Chains A and B, each alone.
Chain A
Amino acid sequence: MSVSTGQAGNTDQQAASSTAAETSSEVVIETRGLTKVYRDFWGRQKVRALKALDLQVYRGEIFGLLGPNGSGKSTTIKLLLGLLFPTSGQAIVFGRDATDVENKQRVGYLPEESYLYRFLNAEETLDFYGRLFNMPAKQRRARVAELIELVGLGWAKRRQLKEYSKGMARRIGLAQALINDPELVLLDEPTTGLDPIGTRQMKDLILELKARGKTVLMCSHLLADVQDVCDRIAILHQGELKELGRVDTLLTVQDVTQIRARGLPKEAEDEIRAVIARHGGELLAMEHPTTTLEELFLHIVREAEAHPGRRATGLARPAEKAPAAQ
Chain B
Amino acid sequence: MVIEREILPYLEWLLFGPQGVGALFVFIFLVAIVALLAIAGSYLVASIRYGPVEGFYSVAQTIADGVPDLVRLSPRRVAAMAYLAIKESIRRKVLVAFVVFAVLLLYAGWFLDVKSDHPARLYLSFVVTATNYLVLLLALFLSTFSLPNDIKNRTIYTIVTKPVRASEIILGRTLGFVVVGSILLAAMGLFSYGFVVRNLSHQHQLDADPEEILAALERDGFWEGQTTLDRLHRHTVRIDKSQLETLGAVTTEIERGHWHTVRLVQEGQRRRFVLSGPQGDLQARVPIYGKLRFLSRSGGPGTGVNVGNEWTYRQYIEGGTLAAAIWTFDGITPEKFPDGLPLELNIRIFRTHKGDIEKGVMGTLLVKCPDRGRRIHSSTPRNFYAREFVIDRQLIPRKLEAIDSETSTVTEVDLFDLVDNGKIEVWLQCAERGQYFGMAQADVYLRAANRPFWLNFVKGYLGIWLQMVLIIAFGVAASTFLSGPIGMISTLGAVILGFSSQFVVGVMEGAIQSNPVLNPIFGTMINEERAVPGGGPIESLIRLVTQKNVMIDLDLPKAAELTVKSLDAVLMAAMMAITRMMPDFRYFHTADYLAYGYNIGGDLIAQQVTVALGYVLVLTVAGYFCLKVREVGT
**Which residues does A use to contact B, with CB under 8 Å?**
38, 43, 78, 81-85, 101-102, 104-105, 107, 109, 111, 113, 115-117, 119-120, 124, 128-129, 131-134, 176, 180
Chain B residue with Cβ nearest A74? B633
Q: Are A101 and B157 in contact (CB under 8 A)?
A: no
The complex places the Cα of A212 from the Cα of B168 at a distance, in Å, of 32
Asked if A131 and B633 make an inter-chain contact with CB atoms under 8 angstroms apart, the answer reads no
Least Cβ–Cβ distance between A103 and chain B, in angstroms: 8
The answer, yes or no, to whether B80 is at the interface (CB within 8 Å) is yes
CB pair A81–B161 under 8 Å, yes or no, is yes
Dominant secondary structure of chain B at its interface with chain A: helix
Query: How many Å lie between the Cα of A273 and that of B362 in the bound state?
Result: 133
For A120, the chain B residues whose CB sits under 8 A away are: 87
Q: Which of B155, B157, B632: most chain A Cβ within 10 A?
A: B157
Whether B88 contacts A119 by the Cβ 8 Å rule is yes
Which residues of the other chain, A, contact B159 by a CB distance below 8 angstroms? 132
Rounded to whole Å, the gap between the CB of B48 and the closest CB of chain A is 8
| Closest chain B residue, CB of each to CB of A103 | B163
The docked-state distance in angstroms from the alpha carbon of A80 to that of B74 is 24
Q: Does B5 contact A (CB under 8 A)?
A: no
* Complex: A180 Cα to B69 Cα, angstroms: 21
Taking a contact as CB atoms under 8 Å apart, the answer to whether A116 and B91 are in contact is no
Q: Quick one: given A38-B634, A84-B634, A131-B76, are A107 and B154 in contact (CB under 8 Å)?
A: no
Q: Give 28 A-B contacts (CB < 8 Å), ordered by A residue.
A: A78-B633, A81-B157, A81-B160, A81-B161, A83-B632, A83-B633, A84-B631, A85-B631, A101-B164, A102-B163, A104-B164, A109-B158, A115-B158, A116-B155, A117-B87, A117-B88, A119-B88, A128-B83, A129-B158, A129-B162, A131-B79, A131-B80, A132-B77, A132-B80, A132-B159, A132-B162, A133-B163, A180-B162
Complex formed: what's the CA distance from A263 to B103 in Å? Answer: 85
Smallest Cβ distance from A105 to chain B, in angstroms?
5
Any chain A CB within 8 A of the CB of B165?
Answer: yes
Complex Cα spacing A78 to B305, Å: 74
A82 to chain B, nearest CB (A): 7
User: Which residues on the A side are within 8 Å of B165 (C-beta)?
Assistant: 101
Is B153 an interface residue when CB atoms closer than 8 A count as contact? yes
The interface residues of chain B lying within 8 Å CB-to-CB of A128 are: 80, 83-84
CA distance A107 to B158 in the complex (A): 11
> A-facing mask of B402-446, CB < 8 A → 1, else 0?
000000000000000000000000000000000000000000000
Chain B interface extent, by class: 20 to 34
**What 8 A-B pairs come out closest when comparing CB atoms?**
A83-B633, A131-B80, A132-B162, A115-B154, A78-B633, A119-B91, A104-B163, A84-B633
In contact, A101 and B163 (Cβ under 8 angstroms): yes
- A81-B157, A104-B162 known; 7 new pairs, CB 8 Å cut-off, are A82-B160, A83-B631, A101-B163, A132-B80, A132-B159, A132-B162, A133-B162
Cα distance, A105 to B161, chains bound together (Å):
9
Q: Which residues of B contact A119 (CB under 8 A)?
A: 87-88, 91
Cα–Cα distance between A119 and B162 once the two chains are bound (Å): 20
B65 CB to nearest A CB, Å: 9
Closest to A125 in B: B158
**If the complex has contacts A119-B88, A128-B80, A134-B77, are A104 and B161 also in contact, measured as CB distance less than 8 A?**
yes
- List A contacts of B633 (CB < 8 A): 78, 81, 83-84
- Find the B residue at minimum CB distance from A128: B80
CB <8 Å contact, B160 and A83? yes
A111-B154 contact given A83-B161, A132-B163, A134-B74, CB 8 Å threshold:
yes
Assembly CA distance A176 to B155 (angstroms): 12
Q: Which residues of A contact B156 (CB under 8 A)?
A: 115
Bound state CA distance, A136 and B331, in angstroms?
58
Say whether A109 contacts B76, CB under 8 Å. no
A67 to B344, alpha carbons, bound, how many Å? Answer: 84
Contacts A83-B632, A101-B165, A132-B164: A115 and B157 contacting too (C-beta < 8 A)?
yes
